[in-house]
Amino acid sequence: MQLGGPSWEVSLGRRDSLNASKEAAEVSLPEPTFNLSDLAVNFWAQGLSFRDMVALSGAHTIGMARCTTFRDHIYNDSDIEPSFARSLQQFCPPRGHDDVLAPLDLRTPAQFDNSYYVNLVNYKGLLHSDQELFHGDSADPIVRNYADEPAVFLDDFAKGMIKMGEIKPLTGSAGEIRKFCGKVN
């Protein structure tokens, strides 16, 4: 909301874990090196549809990524606008400076809008996995639709967030219902 994004009603009463595990999280998280079918399988494994995947990726309308996560894309991929690649290469060299940051959405990095998709149709996706959503494959029509119709994106994003909040909750006496969602009671 603060950055202009959609709002949705968050269901209450989810049982969450009492501890966090980096290793366990990394088993399921998608990688920036993934291709379109890797991404689809990864989301599908969590009960999320192809459309959910395209819509939720629009979270990359805000935030930053480290050089190490997009280096291969800006040096080795061909589905990237050349002047965009060159501008990133200025501060993300072939080696070193791994932690230098670039905005995931170069147009409006601090606004939650549909610019992420406008970037993709112009081949200005920052991550390899971002541009996978628009490079002559089955996600292209959804990306074009979100680039043309911001309201459709915002609506689908909110629906996707609700579905994501319903992934594999703990049941019975496992875990706890948190008083504050970001920390254990």
Binding of ligand HEM by 129 (CB under 6 A):
yes
* Residue whose C-beta lies closest to ligand HEM: 63
Sequence-separated (6 or more) residues with CB below 8 Å from residue 18? 175, 176, 184
Tokens of 122: 């112009």
* Contacting residue, 11, 31, 47, 184, with ligand HEM by CB under 6 A: 31
SS3 23: helix
Nearer to ligand HEM, 53 or 171 (CB): 53
* Contacting residue, 4, 6, 30, 150, with ligand HEM by CB under 6 A: 30
Q: Which secondary-structure segment (H or E) carries 44?
A: helix 36-44
Alpha-carbon gap, residue 61 to 44, rounded angstroms:
22
Q: How far is the CB of 173 from ligand HEM (least distance, A)?
A: 30
**45 CB burial (10 A radius; 0-12, 13-18, 19+):** exposed
Binding of ligand HEM by 64 (CB under 6 A):
yes
SS3 10: coil
Piece in contact with ligand HEM (CB under 6 A), picked from 2-10, 58-66, 84-92, 105-113:
58-66
Site residues for ligand HEM per CB under 6 A: 30-32, 34, 39, 56-57, 59-60, 62-66, 69, 127, 129
